Amino acid sequence: MRILQLISTIGYYGAESIVCTLARQLHAQGHEVVVCILTRASRYDDSIVAKCRQEGVPALAIDGPGRLDLRAVNRLRRLVREREIDVVHTHNYKSNLYAWLATRSAGIPLVATCHNWTRSTASLRFYASLDRLILRGFRRTVAVSPLVADKLRQARIPHQRVSVIRNGIDTEVLQAAPAFPREHPAQVTIGCVCRLVHEKGVADLLHAAQSLLKERPGLRFLIAGDGPDRAEFEALAAELGIAPKVSFLGFQSNMAAVYASIDIFTLPSYNEGLPVSVLEAMAAGKPIVASRIGALPEVVTEAAGSLIPAGDRAALAHSLRNLIDNPALMRKQGVHARERVRQLFDARAMARQYVEVYEDALGPARGSRQAAGDPQTSRGTL
């Protein structure tokens, strides 16, 4: 099967990580995969393209400088035709729209993954509304959690076209990585990995850090990731007087080293689907303190960490303090977190479930053409 993975992006975040992981696993399972990103030349980040190519998966970028660029749509249409793509799999608003426009007359089945609808601004609410209309024309739509699936059904996406496939990660990649140096061996490090925007709760973490550092000045905080609000958060850390204890790491290509360098992982977000960073931290054996939102209650059990109300800075500080003061509990939760991810969020299983969705999207027409020897549909796995 030939599959095009399509995502609109200007960086490397959770959804991009899933695209790379899925492409790699599909390739390993015998399918031919191409990854294509829709981007802007002025803000182009080649992280996802470079990572896929390093792992033997063809990847390329299409420049789409405007909200809707017909030249980019035509380039995508040519790509689908020249690569003889069987299924186009999209991952966010813009890729959904461009794939729908590029394949309308080609009969290529479309599959979308809804990672979550972010509605924090008026423009994002508009895009979410448009996306709900476009997805009604897709053969299948995959939600990363039952909660997201409910949102899709409420948006009048036909029930029979909606599936739930949880994000999966390569757990082995996150094992036994070298950690960053510490000031002293007993130093406790609290880490967060996210896109640096307000909805991730970074300001709440910084305020909680100020409270904790007053009592325990030896703590260290690492915040990995980039985003439009990074300068604002760095200024807030300075204003709170904690800048020397908080390191903003920016984009990191070696995430295994980041997770190896922390003792407690926290993600105090206001809006999430199924955050990849939480799964990665759990795979690295770290206890979790996160907001009780999205799919996190399904992922983070009491044995693996604690969940707090979003926006509750006092609860965030309390939960972190409880782990800092109880190293045995910290280790125990980390062990359980690792085992839970291994059992429930394996990348290979995720890829197999997506193949079933692709085959269902292709439908019986593909099977009948294979029997007739149609070269467009009898290629099999490559």
Distant-in-sequence, close-in-space partners of 17: CB < 8 Å, separation ≥ 6: 169, 276
Pick the CATH number of 171-344 from 3.90.1150.10, 3.30.1490.190, 3.40.50.2000, 1.10.3720.10: 3.40.50.2000
What architecture is domain 2-168+346-372? 3-Layer(aba) Sandwich (3.40)
The predicted pLDDT at position 118 comes to 64
- Residue 119: its pLDDT value, please? 60
The answer to whether 362 and 87 are in contact (CB under 8 A) is yes
Query: Does the pTM of the predicted model rise above 0.75?
Result: yes
* Alpha-carbon span 322 to 300, nearest angstrom: 16
Q: Quickly list DSSP for 179-235.
A: PPP-SSTT--EEEEES-SSGGGTHHHHHHHHHHHHHH-TT-EEEEEB--TTHHHHHH
User: Quick one: how many helices (H) and strands (E) in the chain?
Assistant: 14, 13
The pLDDT, as a whole number, for residue 371 is 40
Contact 86, 362 (CB under 8 A): yes
Q: What pLDDT score does 162 carry?
A: 95
Per-residue pLDDT at 368: 40
Q: How many CA atoms lie within 13 A of 274 on its CB side?
A: 28
Around Cβ 80, how many Cβ atoms within 10 Å?
Answer: 22
HEC assignment per residue over 105-155: CCCCCEEEEECCCCCCCHHHHHHHHHHHHHHCCCCEEEECCHHHHHHHHHC
Coil, helix or strand at residue 344: helix
Strand partners, 5: 35, 89
**Cα–Cα distance measured from residue 303 to residue 312, given in angstroms and rounded to the nearest whole number:** 21
Rounded to an integer, what distance in angstroms lies between the CA atom of residue 289 and that of residue 83?
Answer: 44
Per-residue pLDDT of the chain (382 residues; tens, 9 = 90+): 999 999 998 778 888 989 999 999 999 999 999 999 998 877 767 888 998 999 899 999 998 766 788 999 999 999 999 999 999 999 998 999 999 999 988 889 999 999 877 665 677 677 778 888 899 999 999 999 898 899 899 988 999 999 999 999 988 777 667 788 887 877 999 999 999 999 999 999 999 999 999 999 999 999 999 999 999 999 999 999 999 999 999 988 888 999 999 999 999 999 888 899 999 999 999 999 999 998 899 999 999 999 999 999 999 999 999 999 999 999 999 999 999 999 999 999 999 999 999 999 998 655 443 443 443 333 333 2
Q: What are the residue boundaries of the structural domains of the chain, listed by start?
A: 2-168+346-372, 171-344
Quote the tokens at residue 338.
């690792």
Domains 2-168+346-372 and 171-344 alike in fold: yes
